[in-house]
Each structure stands twice: as C-alpha cells, then as structure tokens.
Structure 1
Amino acid sequence: MADLSAIKEHMEVIGADGVHVGTVDHVEGDRIKLTKKDSGAEVSEGSGSHEGHHHYISGGLVAGVEGDQVRLSANADVAVGFEEEA
C-alpha cells in the first residue's frame, strides 16, 4: 500500500487507465473518502445510486501519489466497483 499521508484534500483520484474516479475529501483510516460532488461521476457505473453521497476507496488500491493526483492500481471502472459506502 502506498503512503496515504501524502494524500491531501482536493487531489484528483484517477484509475490506472487515467480516467477520473473522484476527488479526495480526506483520508479516513486506511480509506480515501471521496467528495459527494463527483464521487464516480465520470464513470458509467458511477451514476444513479452512486451519486449524491460519499464513497470510499480502499488505501490498498492506491498505486502512488504523483503531483496532485492519486493513481490507483485498478482501472476506473474496476475501482468504482470496489467503492465502499459509509
């Protein structure tokens, strides 16, 4: 697992394929809490019941932090499938 302490508020979370997954609200334990505003908004599976509330990404999916982006080890569509709710 990557060093989650390097992850800061408002960083973009992207899948291994470069597709936007969400925006960091903050790190909570070993999970990244995504903002409600765009949590999974650009991924087709991220609509309907996935919109309008916070989602969490497991820290185990973080491949690294590069600049202002958190890059995941899974493609965006797969990562959204692993999203957790409160």
Structure 2
Amino acid sequence: MGHASQVREGMEVIGADGVHIGTVDKVEHHRLKLTKADSGMGSHAGHNHYVPLGLVAEIEGEQVRLTATAANAVLFETEESEG
C-alpha cells in the first residue's frame, strides 16, 4: 500500500502483462478510481471503476503496474454505487 502516495491523476494503469486497464482519476478509500472514459461499453459505460490498491506492484514513470494481468484485474474491479 505504500504506492498510494506516488499515484497521480492521469497515470495509466496496466496489468502485469502490459495491457491497458484504465487511467487514474484519483486514489479513494484504498482503491484506484479510474476515469469514466475507460469504463468500457454497454452497462459498464459511464461508471467509474475501482481497483484495489493491494494489486499495485510498482510505479514505472507514468504507469501503475498491477500484480495481476489485465484479464484477471478486471475481475477485481468494482463500480461506484448508483443512487
């Protein structure tokens, strides 16, 4: 969790495999809040998604690299509460 202080808005979030997952909006409640622009399509469009900070492996320049591959990391994503 020591990475939270290094994460900045606009950083790219990538999986351990180098695949783009999203763009950081901010760190909120021990999670990376991703921008709505990277929220996907269909029912996922227009929602912020969150990735647990526990998945952050390292910060490399302007990239946040996760310990999980992109395909696995999206299984840990949560959406903001509606309502």
Normalising by structure 1, report the TM-score. Answer: 0.86
Aligned position for 2:59: 65
State how far apart, in whole Å, the 2-side matches of 1:71 and 1:62 are: 6
State how far apart, in whole Å, the 2-side matches of 1:27 and 1:6 are: 10
Aligned position for 2:44: 50
Shift of 1:19: 0.3
Aligned position for 1:3: 3
Deviation string, structure 1 residues 27-67 (Cα, Å, up to 9, x no partner): 0021000000013x4xxxxx322222100000000001110
Aligned position for 1:16: 16
State how far apart, in whole Å, the 2-side matches of 1:2 and 1:62 are: 9
In our comparison, the structure showing a higher alpha carbon Rg is: 2
4+ runs of 1 displaced by more than 3 Å?
Answer: none
Number of matched pairs: 80
Aligned position for 1:33: 33
Tell me the percent identity. Answer: 62
| Gap regions ≥5 residues in structure 1 | 42-46
Normalising by structure 2, report the TM-score. Answer: 0.89
Q: CA RMSD in A?
A: 1.2
| Gap regions ≥5 residues in structure 2 | none
